[in-house]
A and B are shown apart, each in its own frame.
Chain A
Amino acid sequence: MGRIIIEISRYLMIICMSIYTIQCFAVFRFGNEYDRKGIYLRQNFFMVLVHFLGFVSLYAQKSDIIYLRAYLIQQLGILAILAAYRLIYPRANILIINNMCMLITIGLLILTRISYNKAMRQFYIVIGSVVVTLIVPYIISRIRFFEKFKWAYVAVGVGSLAAVLAFSRVINGSKLNIHIASYTFQPSEYVKIIFVFAIAAVLAHGHKLKDYLISAAIAIVHVLLLVASKDLGSAIIFFVVYFAMLYAASRNVLYYLIGFLTGAAGAIAGYKLFRHVRVRVTAFLDPMGNITDAGYQIAQSLFAIGTGGWLGMGIGQGAPDTIPVVAADFIFAAICEELGVVFGMCLILLCLSCFIMFMNISMKFDDPFFKLVALGLSVAYIFQVFLTIGGVIKFIPLTGVTLPLVSYGGTSVAVTCCVFAVIQGLYISKGKDNTRTPVASDFKTEQLGIVELE
């Protein structure tokens, strides 16, 4: 009987996830949140169902009461997040909230399967992060002088990264974390947000060459500090974010091309200078030929994804424990192995729908500072997703970054919650000018492109 439960829930989970993902894109057919209400409710239903089916399957195998407890706590926590956002911010963008909760759901589910203790720890971090960042949208939508602090951002960002370089211990060849008491932080995660604010502050109203040079100097200092700490994944993210923002602010294709060229030069320099970059490239080119050393991680990841196939082996039925750092960097491989590649593809599309919504929000801004902040954070988010998933499936060389909100890791989760909250705040402040309840005619006028005069 256990077997049949596992099998049925395996198929149903894929169906639920697929429907959820389709809804993510169905949202864009409508111009306002009012018309999207039905979609959002359906999403919530399938989100709860995926979590439920996953735990039914796990419980059928383990028959341990702690899974029942974990299920109830997690489900209540996630529903509480949904409810809290909707109550406190009635004008919030629900797609972003839903997707945030769906990513958290998937993360908690697969983490519970990998390690019960890690999952519960992750759960409390998620709840803590969401509670703390609940205030962020309010702050963002009320305070209008964020761009005045550009040098403070630079000081905090550079200071944090320098501190990592000076005080951190080397783990796996890189310096990433700062230890305070028994807590570990990964400053490069939160500096990402501060960095976006700093660059936006410099470029929002500065369009002289001097401003471009200042922004470039700030970016160079950040990237070099990260390279010195051998945190190359973060260094690439900062680099890409900077050039995306510079390109948008300058509106000049030349900077786009400069970005490409320096990126290529940097990649070659990195390959020549750092042994561990060469190791990663070797592993990327021929993981099976170097399976005993450099290619070991990526080969294990490919075994997992390949053995799982389109439909997966069923949650609890694979061997994700054979994949190194499975809870953090390689969580996508574990998801593909047990829930299936179809599920994994849906997850990729889900992240993409977040990004599209973020970019939509950025486009609706007139204020250049917030426009750039929204853009910078969106690019930071989606590029990190690209690096981690692309690395795990061997589409690009491995960089060792986490999958935001899904991977295990306190700082990553807290910072991503914060990013989502900042964008939520931007969305809310954008909507403030237009507070009346939407009426049916809204959709029509938007379609006709008629600008309403208020």
Chain B
Amino acid sequence: MKILQKIISKPQKVKPGRRHVDSNREIGVITYLFLFLFLAMLVYLGYFTRVKAPDVINSTYNKRQSLLESRLIRGDILSREGNVLATTLSDNDGGYYRSYPYRNTFAHIVGYSTHGVLGLESMENYTLLTCDGNIADRISNDLAGRKNHGDNVVSTLDTAMQEAAYDAMDEKKGAVVAMNVRTGEILCVVSKPDFDPNEVIGRWDVLSESEDSVLLNRAFLGSYPPGSTFKIVTALEYLKEHGGNISDYGFECKGSFEYKGSIINCYNEQSHGWMNFDDSFANSCNSSFANISSQLDKKRFADTLDELLFGRDLPLPFKYSKAYSDLGVDSSTDELLQTGIGQGKTLISPIHMLMITSAIANDGILMKPYVVSEIQNTDGGVIRKTRIREYGRIIDETYAAGLRKMMREVVVNGTGRRAFDTQGYDISGKTGSAEYSSNKSLSHAWFTGFAGTDEPEIAVTVIVEGGGSGGAVAVPIAKRVFDAYYNK
């Protein structure tokens, strides 16, 4: 009330001639206001320098790379065990060149630092060119005319898994990507066809103009129809709409399903006979899933896709392609059925499929994926460490448990049987054979799954372009990657 009276009351009347306007209180208020503004600005400048700057300056538009390279030796990129994935060596003329000891194996994820930059070389471009070594060493290097060493980047990549994935893919085109579902650490990233980063300078013209897009990292930037792996999403939507109760579901599969003029065929037009929900999922029955889709609410289905980050930005520290789905309230019945079995116009990247799988494995919580675990100075002192962070819950805990059960059934009794025979751990997952052209006999082979001894630990997603059946082609590759993790 007092404040209100003060505001309403007119300025004090002072007798003419003795007017004494003492505005010091107001001047004080203005002074403190500006002090506060400047304090906020200083805090922001500190925050920018400490927290945001390392990311900001790693832009390809920052023109200071050559400036720093003339003064520093670019730091190393290491695997999680400390194997050197990229380093700088000196030649006989006193010049320096970049060397990648694992050649093609880590090509896309480690990248290269000439002709523009790619992969970790790009993401941590300025980190590798920042020297945080101890000051005494730096000064003594300066005195001796030696260049200082840039910081080293320790990645989350697992050499054994990376090599297993690389070898398993052999000459096939496609991608393999794996992560720890509890931490978000990316464990391996393979994209095929590949290249030798040591030869980027010499073979630039060939590489950059290759018809197979050799330089493209398919694991992050590839956009594929998800095929039957999408049945995970359809099953999730069914669980949501039925409060997790799937025991009432039954369907007699005769090799195809017709609904309001749309016809959906099973893979190879196989008849699956009478099935419950788990059987439909394990055998990847298109007819049954078309039947399931026909019962789904388009609006709620579209909301679920939104929660699973379709069409949205992903919490990733590197470039990726956004997933696409055209499902909405206005979609036709045919579009709904096609979407439900993973065909239609839906597109997804392998890393996104991996993130959905990881969330299912991690009780519905998605961890933010990352590839850089820490930055070390040249003496091994830790400069920065990436914190493990939750992105948040994208799937309800009980539905995630339901999906895990179904995915285990795929390996035990369904299309993923080739992943059943494991030692000391269990694999669960979903296969897919995604048609991608009018020729129905051609399909991309998918597998996305997770494994663990008691609790799920890691997830792997495999896609083989034009590979055919997911169960026959993609599953064995995933199994080799899982084996590399568990049978070291």
Q: Which residues of A does B touch, CB under 8 Å?
A: 1, 3-4, 7, 204-205, 207, 244, 247-254, 288, 291, 299-300, 302-303, 305-307, 309-310, 317-319, 322, 341, 344-345, 348-349, 352, 355-356, 359, 362-363, 366, 368, 371-372, 375, 379, 382-383, 386, 389-390, 393-395
Contacts and interface: CB of A to CB of B under 8 A. Distances in A.
B268 interface: no
B115 interface: no
Given A291-B61, A306-B48, A205 B19 contact: yes
B41 A319 contact: no
Contact of A386 (B25, B41, B61): B41
B37 A7 contact: no
The interface centre, meaning the residue of B6, B42, B44 with most chain A CB atoms within 10 A of its CB, is B42
Interface residues of B, number: 49
Contacts of B63: 303, 319, 322
Interface in B21-36: 21-31, 34-35
Contact of B27 (A352, A375, A390): A375
Contacts of A371: 21, 23, 27
Given A303-B59, A386-B38, A393-B41, A251 B48 contact: no
Contacts of A244: 30
Query: Which 9 interchain pairs have the tightest Cβ spacing?
Result: A306-B53, A306-B57, A248-B23, A303-B62, A248-B26, A368-B21, A3-B142, A359-B31, A341-B49
B300 interface: no
A4 B26 contact: no
B15 interface: no
B27 A248 contact: yes
Nearest to A11: B135
A299 B61 contact: yes
A250 B41 contact: no
A42 B343 CA distance: 77
Contacts of B1: none
A107 B334 CA distance: 69
Interface in B377-412: none
Contact of A249 (B12, B23, B41): B23
A362 B59 contact: no
Given A307-B64, A375-B27, A344 B45 contact: yes
B27 A395 contact: no
B240 interface: no
Contacts of B126: 307
Nearest to B26: A248
B45 A393 contact: yes
Contact of A352 (B20, B38, B40, B142): B38
B297 to A, nearest CB: 35
A251 B6 CA distance: 10
Interface of B: 6-7, 11-12, 19-31, 34-35, 37-38, 40-42, 44-46, 48-49, 52-54, 56-57, 59, 61-64, 67-68, 71, 126, 130, 138-139, 142-143, 145
Contacts of A248: 23, 26-27, 30
Q: Per DSSP, are chain A's interface residues mostly helix, strand or loop, or mixed?
A: helix
A318 B64 CA distance: 8
A7 B145 CA distance: 13
Contacts of A253: 6-7
Contact of A303 (B12, B35, B57): B57
A375 B41 contact: no
A249 B21 contact: yes
A48 B42 CA distance: 26
A306 B61 CA distance: 13
5 contacts: A204-B21, A249-B21, A348-B45, A379-B34, A386-B41
B7 A252 contact: yes
A302 B56 contact: yes
Contacts of A394: 48
A303 B488 CA distance: 43
B49 A309 contact: yes
Contacts of B41: 348, 386, 389-390, 393, 395
A305 B53 contact: yes
B183 to A, nearest CB: 27
Contact of A362 (B25, B27, B68): B27
Given A3-B142, A299-B61, A306-B53, A379 B44 contact: no
B45 A306 contact: no
B11 A348 contact: no
B23 A382 contact: no
A421 B126 CA distance: 46
B23 A306 contact: no
Contacts of B37: 386
Contact of B143 (A4, A305, A362): A4
A447 to B, nearest CB: 19
A393 B145 CA distance: 35
Nearest to A244: B30
A362 B12 CA distance: 21
B30 A207 contact: no
Contact of B64 (A207, A303, A368): A303
Contacts of B28: 363
Contact of A288 (B25, B56, B67): B56
A204 B37 CA distance: 27
B162 to A, nearest CB: 30
Most chain B CB neighbours (cut-off 10 Å) among A250, A306, A356, A371:
A306
A291 B54 CA distance: 17
Contacts of B35: 352, 356
B24 to A, nearest CB: 5
A250 B56 contact: no
Contacts of A355: 31, 34
Contact of B59 (A1, A288, A348): A288
A356 B64 contact: no
Contacts of B143: 1, 3-4
